[in-house]
């Protein structure tokens, strides 16, 4: 019997041979891996053996949709990208919203696997079950906005006829934190998957929109549950009214805004930089993702300050923090400008601002001179110097070549005092733009132990009550933090299999109801955990095979340091780090000493075939 929500087809693109082919997916495969990050984890493990490095042609770049993408569920334009990534040299899974996840399905495919390397820049064109690898040499050096404009004009396509994702100069130059960017400002930003795309000489992918052309098993049930999910999302947190920036000041209140590279947690200007201020002072235009009713994505026009008149996408929380307090900037208009600049160049704002903030602190302390920085005055808050530096990084010019390696590698190369000031996890994962030493220890822990290269268990906190688990009572309890990370693990990764945006699908139970309505399945809450943990364990096995060690699951010295002021002053997560790891490993069925999955855990998750690889 047909499963609703799928085509059962993966497009394989062999760039070296300049060939495309279509592979059928079996029902049992779909039921086991669901889509998105699940498909990505399966193919990564199967096709990328140990010894293949992130930039090798034999690395895979896997773009996958999910069963809810394009189904009519609110905000279901999401897709997942998986590859061995350059930040960690381990697995990377990153998602972007917008339209592409839906348009990929409308084009007749559940996913695309890129392999090999094209001899020159190319782009992939897909429409109605057809695929073509096309010359993109004329797009070399263009930023992704220019790429979108050029390709739409060449194809005679209007704005929403096609969804286009690609790389900017950062991806072409293999900046380790290059992102895949598209649909006017959406990013799959984590673990440098844009650099993998650049290493394969793929500049962009174009997918065509259209009407939904795959089966929905129970449209009436879907309509009812989708409405209920929207009502939940509308009142769950600040997103509907204020966007992700609506929580900016709340994060300040618990010591979670990153201020000047963690040298302080005092930022009284937060009230002039939050979503509430932006939406009541700047001009706002709605730019919703595919069929999204929450519609938190906006375009803004700056109405005051030095950047008055500047038009850009409304910065999400991470960009507000990255280009505001982290670099000592207090002008919201400048945040809009830098957000657009980083997106245009195609790089992750998190890692870019950890790198820039580290440079600024080292400059303040006299570790770097202006001469060391190609003549740039990298004083806190000098946003024009930051803009210039971002461009140097994207093109690997001068000091930008070192900084393009990310803050972990750059700080290790400089060494000495500079090395102690950099914020990263030893595995190489960039923390999101928070000060996790504040009231979000759970996210600091998650960033260090993740197998996806970005958040795995948490998403800006945990709301365990949504899946009937006990609450996190004390955000500074070593025991609770490690325990709840383990107990909740699987839910968020399952999310990443579906093709929906978390901001539009805030209630996991209703999301599950929507999934069952689309597919015809009757999955339970327990199945969510099983499938999500299956994907996590598959990625973890991949990571061990590619050289990960337990010792890598630590924060850098600065990332794990004790706040010197602010609401979390004196709190020390590192006091019991080893105990937290052992507790977490034990609860997930992993060896408490090494962190490797135990054979019985793999068997329980249906991963028996991996036991031989332990």
Partner 1 sequence: MNHVTVEIWLWLGKELGEDFKSLSEMRSLKEESVEEGTTIRQLLDSLARYYPPIAQNIFDPKVKEVYPHVVVNYNDQVISPYVVHEQVLRDGDKITVLPVYMGG
Does 502 bind partner 1 (CB under 8 A)? Our answer is: yes
Q: Rounded to the nearest whole angstrom, what is the least distance from the CB of residue 473 to partner 1 in the complex?
A: 5
- 506 contributes a contact to partner 1 by CB under 8 A: yes
Of 404, 420, 315, the closest CA to residue 356 belongs to: 404
**Burial category of 509 from C-beta neighbours within 10 Å (exposed 0-12, middle 13-18, buried 19 and up):** middle
Q: Of 168-176, 193-201, 343-351, 465-473, which segment contacts partner 1 by CB under 8 A?
A: 465-473
- 476 binding partner 1? (CB under 8 A): yes
**Options 104-112, 386-394, 475-483, 554-562: segment touching partner 1 (CB under 8 A):** 475-483
Q: Which lies closer to partner 1 via its Cβ, residue 461 or residue 520? A: 461
The rounded Cα 140 to chain-centroid distance in angstroms is: 25
Element housing 221 (H / E): helix 219-235
- 471 near partner 1 (CB under 8 A): yes
Is 238 near partner 1 (CB under 8 A)? Answer: yes
Smallest separation, CB 390 to partner 1 (Å): 23
Among residue numbers 98 through 137, which ones bind partner 1 (CB under 8 A)? none
| Residue 300 tokens, joined | 């803004």
Distance between CA atoms of residues 516 and 248, nearest Å:
35
Rg of the chain on CA atoms, in Å = 22
Of 78 and 249, which CB lies nearer to partner 1 in the complex structure?
A: 249
572 is a site residue for partner 1 (CB under 8 A): no
Residue 81 CB contacts under 8 Å (≥ 6 apart), including other chains: 40, 61, 62, 63, 64, 92, 93, 94, 95, 96, 180, 188, 193
**Which parts of 424-453 interact with partner 1 (CB under 8 A)?**
438-439
Is there a contact between 94 and 79 (Cβ–Cβ < 8 Å)?
no
Report the C-alpha gap between 544 and 100 in whole angstroms: 32
Residue 509 near partner 1 by CB under 8 A: no
**Phi/psi of residue 130, each to 5°?**
-110, 155
Q: Does 475 bind partner 1 (CB under 8 A)?
A: yes
Q: Is residue 491 near partner 1 by the rule CB under 8 A?
A: no
Least gap, CB of 468 to partner 1 (angstroms): 13
Could you tell me if 151 and 164 are in contact, meaning their C-beta atoms sit under 8 angstroms apart? yes
| 614 in contact with partner 1 (CB under 8 A) | no
304 touches partner 1 (CB under 8 A): no
- Tell me which stretch binds partner 1 (CB under 8 A): 122-130, 177-185, 238-246, 377-385: 238-246
The correct pick among 421, 463, 546, 558 for binding partner 1 (CB under 8 A) is 463
If 0-12 CB within 10 Å is exposed, 13-18 middle and 19+ buried, where does residue 272 land? middle
d(CA 285, CA 282): 10
- Tell me the window of 192-200, 391-399, 511-519, 565-573 that interacts with partner 1 (CB under 8 A): 565-573
Nearest Cα neighbor of 511 from 499, 78, 31 is 499
Binding range to partner 1, per CB under 8 A, among 345-353, 467-475, 535-543, 603-611: 467-475
Question: Residue 479 interacts with partner 1 (CB under 8 A)?
Answer: no
Q: Say if CB 501 and CB 483 are below 8 A apart.
A: no
- Distance in Å, CB of 164 to partner 1, minimum: 26
**592 interacts with partner 1 by CB under 8 A:** no
Element (DSSP H or E) covering residue 114: strand 111-115
Asked if 246 is part of the footprint of partner 1 (rule: CB under 8 A), the reply reads: yes
CB of 236 to partner 1, least distance (A): 7
Q: How far is the CB of 266 from partner 1 (least distance, A)?
A: 10
**Rounded to an integer, what distance in angstroms lies between the CA atom of residue 614 and that of residue 609?**
10
Helix, strand or coil, per DSSP, at residue 62 = strand
Q: Looking at the DSSP assignment, which residues form a beta bridge with residue 181?
A: 166, 187
The whole-angstrom separation of Cα 534 and Cα 600 is 13
- Of 129, 73, 125, 130, give the one whose Cα is nearest residue 97: 73
Q: Is 469 in the site for partner 1 (CB under 8 A)?
A: no
28 contacts partner 1 (rule: CB under 8 A): no
Contact 150, 196 (CB under 8 A): no
**With binding defined as CB under 8 A, does residue 277 bind partner 1?**
yes
Min. distance of Cβ 281 from partner 1 in angstroms? 10
* b/e code 401-414 from CB counts within 10 Å (16+ = b): ebbbbbbbbbbeeb
| Piece of 27-35, 176-184, 243-251, 371-379 that binds partner 1 (CB under 8 A) | 243-251
Q: For 418, phi and psi rounded to 5 degrees? A: -60, -35
Contacts of 463 (CB under 8 A, 6+ apart): none
For the window 195-224, what string marks contact with partner 1 as x by the rule CB under 8 A?
------------------------------
Smaller CB separation from partner 1, 284 or 611: 284
Candidates 248, 544, 554, 585: give the one binding partner 1 (CB under 8 A).
248
CB 569 to partner 1: min, Å: 7
**DSSP structure class, residue 19:** E
Among 48, 503, 504, 518, binds partner 1 (CB under 8 A): 503
Nearer Cβ to partner 1, position 369 or 465? 465
- Backbone φ, ψ for residue 505 (5° rounding): -125, 70
3-state class (DSSP) for residue 236: coil
CB of 571 to partner 1, least distance (A): 8
91 sits near partner 1 (criterion: CB under 8 A) = no
Q: Are strands 180-182 and 122-127 parallel, antiparallel or unpaired?
A: unpaired
Binding partner 1 by CB under 8 A: which of 68, 139, 251, 528? 251
Pick between residue 438 and residue 532 the one whose CB is nearest to partner 1.
438
* 166 versus 258: smaller Cβ distance to partner 1: 258
Chain residues that interact with partner 1, rule: CB under 8 A: 236-239, 244-251, 253-255, 271, 274, 276-277, 280, 317-318, 438-439, 459-463, 465, 471, 473-477, 502-503, 506, 566-569
């Amino acid at each position: 019997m047909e499963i609703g929500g799928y085509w059962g087809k993966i497009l394989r693109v062999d760039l070296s041979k300049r060939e495309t082919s279509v592979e059928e997916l079996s029902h049992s495969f779909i039921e086991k891996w669901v889509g998105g990050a699940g498909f990505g984890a399966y193919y990564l493990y199967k096709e990328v053996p140990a010894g293949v490095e992130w930039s090798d042609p034999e690395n895979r770049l896997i773009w996958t949709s999910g069963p809810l993408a394009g189904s009519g569920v609110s905000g279901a334009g999401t897709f997942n990208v998986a590859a061995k990534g350059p930040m960690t040299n381990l697995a990377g899974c990153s998602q972007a919203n917008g339209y592409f996840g839906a348009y990929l399905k409308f084009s007749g495919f559940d996913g695309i696997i890129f392999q090999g390397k094209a001899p020159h820049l190319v782009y992939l064109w897909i429409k109605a079950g057809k695929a073509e690898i096309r010359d993109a040499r004329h797009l070399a050096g263009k930023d992704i906005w220019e790429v979108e404009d050029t390709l739409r004009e060449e194809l005679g396509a209007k704005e929403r006829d096609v969804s286009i994702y690609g790389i900017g100069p950062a991806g072409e130059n293999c900046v380790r934190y290059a992102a895949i960017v598209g649909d006017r400002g959406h990013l799959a930003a984590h673990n440098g998957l844009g650099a993998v795309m650049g290493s394969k000489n793929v500049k962009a992918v174009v997918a065509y929109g259209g009407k939904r052309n795959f089966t929905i098993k129970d449209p009436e049930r879907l309509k009812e549950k989708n409405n209920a999910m929207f009502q939940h999302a509308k009142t769950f947190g600040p997103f509907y009214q204020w966007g992700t920036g609506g929580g900016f000041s709340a994060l300040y209140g618990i010591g979670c805004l990153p201020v000047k590279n963690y040298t302080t947690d005092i930022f009284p200007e937060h009230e002039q930089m939050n979503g509430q201020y932006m939406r009541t002072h700047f001009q706002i235009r709605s730019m919703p993702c595919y069929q999204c009713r929450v519609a938190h994505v906006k375009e803004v026009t700056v109405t005051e300050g030095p950047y008055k008149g500047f038009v850009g996408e409304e910065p999400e929380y991470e960009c507000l923090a990255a280009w505001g307090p982290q670099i000592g900037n207090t002008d919201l208009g400048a945040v809009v400008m830098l957000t657009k600049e980083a997106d245009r160049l195609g790089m992750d704002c998190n890692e870019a601002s950890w790198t820039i903030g580290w440079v600024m602190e080292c400059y303040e302390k006299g570790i770097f001179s202006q001469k060391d920085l190609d003549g740039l005055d990298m004083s806190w808050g000098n946003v024009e110097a930051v803009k210039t530096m971002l461009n140097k990084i994207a093109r690997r010019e001068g000091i930008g070549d070192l900084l393009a390696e990310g803050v972990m590698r750059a700080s290790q190369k400089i060494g000495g005092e500079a090395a102690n000031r950099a914020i990263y996890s030893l595995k190489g994962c960039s923390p999101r733009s928070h000060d996790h030493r504040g009231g979000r220890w759970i996210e600091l822990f998650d960033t260090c132990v993740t197998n996806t290269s970005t958040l795995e268990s948490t998403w800006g906190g945990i709301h365990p009550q949504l899946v009937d688990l006990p609450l996190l009572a004390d955000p500074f309890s070593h025991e609770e933090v490690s325990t709840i990370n383990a107990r909740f693990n699987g839910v968020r990764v399952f999310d990443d299999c579906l093709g929906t945006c978390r901001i539009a699908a805030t209630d996991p139970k209703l999301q599950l109801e929507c999934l069952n309505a689309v597919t015809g399945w009757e999955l339970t809450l327990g199945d969510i955990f099983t499938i999500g943990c299956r994907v996590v364990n598959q990625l973890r096995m991949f990571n061990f095979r590619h050289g990960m060690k337990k010792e890598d699951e630590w924060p850098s010295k600065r990332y794990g340091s004790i706040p010197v002021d602010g609401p979390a002053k004196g709190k020390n997560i590192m006091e019991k780090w080893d105990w937290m790891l052992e507790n977490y490993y034990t609860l997930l069925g992993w060896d408490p000493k090494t962190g490797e999955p135990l054979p019985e855990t793999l068997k329980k998750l249906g991963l028996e075939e991996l036991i031989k690889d332990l």
